[in-house]
A and B are shown apart, each in its own frame.
Chain A
């Protein structure tokens, strides 16, 4: 069997394990917390396709995530669309936004690109606040559909997130090992040199921003059913911007393993902190850990392990 075949098989096994875990019916909080951690696996992986592979740091994660969530809210309100439709639609709308910021890279590089993405979040949030149909600034309640395919609705959403995480990670892994990944690494390292070599830099950047945007939107699409009440402040929370960047940085940005490790570690730590200490402390923990890593292990945990192995 090919390596690709094996990784798909492993992915299926992980999804099966997720379904198994969902049917165990342990303390429901485990699924609540697990959902958030898995959501961060998707977010960190998606962010890393642009930020890690291509080296374009995106501070606008909340914009993409919330766009996925609000696309879902719109479709729930207007046509009561089923969850798979919400996920695909949320992904596609966010992918379109991604394509748009892809064209920004024509003129903006480095810090200037990052600042532009920061503004993106603010602009989009203002628009949502003024759009009454999806709840405006007051927010909107979302009723979960009755009768999930199995278990309770939360365990069902948990399983869905396991599947989404697997798909996102497989996609990232595939990109990383293909010529696309090699081209992205080239433009991260030296964009001008990449152009000299005939690497189609613009097309690669558009690809990265679009795919990254797609999965960020996908992560946001089930969000309305998870929280059942969507309002701009929580959908556009700063947490997403900070975590999306911190998790891959802590795990290591050059491989698909990094964001997964970072998301699981940091996601678990902040869930534990929420229960034991306070929910406000989360971002502080993330910030401190991030600074520590940037100073002590700039290549993340993956880089640290490689270095210790003597490579």
Chain B
């Protein structure tokens, strides 16, 4: 749950009172073109950008955890994992080392063997390339690795920032389908920031459209999003 978040870098204000909510078990799409504040919002949730105002919190079993005062490490420990924009792999480390780093937090280390097996099962290509340097793989494989790495911390909530960037259309479909598959398999809650409207609405339960740091439209289901011709035309250019 994000309420009235304001944030920016230096003198530049990027988010102007953004509020959105993701309920347990949902896949929510955060849609918008480049430069509208999608990544900044994701970074705020992960504790990598300190919001100037508003609140970000996690409600679990009736308890409310304020995320704005927590460090990224603590947020990861709470069961929130990020598939960062542009993948942000460790290019000179092997695939396996990349995966192990996804489980850096003490809570995650206990489940390493199990999670590694799950990842290799879900992404057989990673098992075949476990000793290869991450930077030497293709873009699609790297995106798969970034998703697998995030799952290594046994998260309940997965934040995915622009999984389609820099991938060929066929790979985008594959990555999006994989996210849906994993979401169902692990009962994840997913918040996905994406500019590829058509692909994102394939798997999202509902979504928000963010324009210039404000939520301009909230679609309660994919149909509402798809049928909002105005928004599609002016803000997404499709």
**Which residues in A have some Cβ–Cβ distance to B below 8 Å?**
179, 182-183, 185-186, 189-190, 192-200
Contact = CB atoms under 8 A, between A and B. Distances in A.
A189 B104 contact: no
B105 A198 contact: yes
B90 A186 contact: yes
Interface string B20-60: 00000000000000000000000000101000000000000
B230 to A, nearest CB: 35
Contacts, number: 58
B137 interface: no
Given A192-B88, A193-B84, A198 B97 contact: no
Interface stretch (B68-76, B179-187, B198-206): B68-76
B48 A195 contact: yes
Contacts of B88: 190, 192-193, 196
A196 B48 contact: yes
B65 interface: no
Given A183-B104, A193-B84, A200 B89 contact: no
Given A182-B97, A195-B72, A190 B91 contact: yes
A183 B93 CA distance: 11
B148 to A, nearest CB: 12
A188 to B, nearest CB: 8
B72 A198 contact: yes
Contact of A193 (B46, B73, B90): B90
Given A198-B73, A198-B75, A193 B100 contact: no
B46 A182 contact: no
Contact of B153 (A182, A195, A198): A198
Contacts of A197: 76, 101-102, 104, 149, 153
Most buried by A among B46, B73, B76, B82: B73
Contacts of B72: 195-196, 198
B101 A194 contact: yes
B93 A179 contact: no
Contact of A196 (B84, B91, B93, B100): B84
B1 to A, nearest CB: 21
Nearest to B150: A197
A192 B75 CA distance: 16
Given A192-B88, A193-B84, 8 more contacts: A182-B100, A182-B104, A186-B90, A189-B90, A190-B91, A194-B90, A194-B101, A195-B72
B149 to A, nearest CB: 7
Contacts of B46: 196
Most buried by A among B76, B77, B90, B102: B90
A193 B84 CA distance: 8
Contacts of A185: 90, 93, 97
A156 to B, nearest CB: 43
A65 B90 CA distance: 33
B92 interface: yes
Contacts of A199: 73, 101, 104
Nearest to A190: B90
Interface in B159-189: none
Contacts of A194: 90, 101
B76 A189 contact: no
B187 to A, nearest CB: 21
A180 to B, nearest CB: 11
B93 to A, nearest CB: 6
B227 to A, nearest CB: 35
A96 to B, nearest CB: 25
Contacts of A193: 84, 88-90
A186 B152 CA distance: 15
Contact of A198 (B77, B84, B89, B100): B77
B130 interface: no
Contacts of B71: 200
A196 B89 CA distance: 10
Contacts of B75: 198
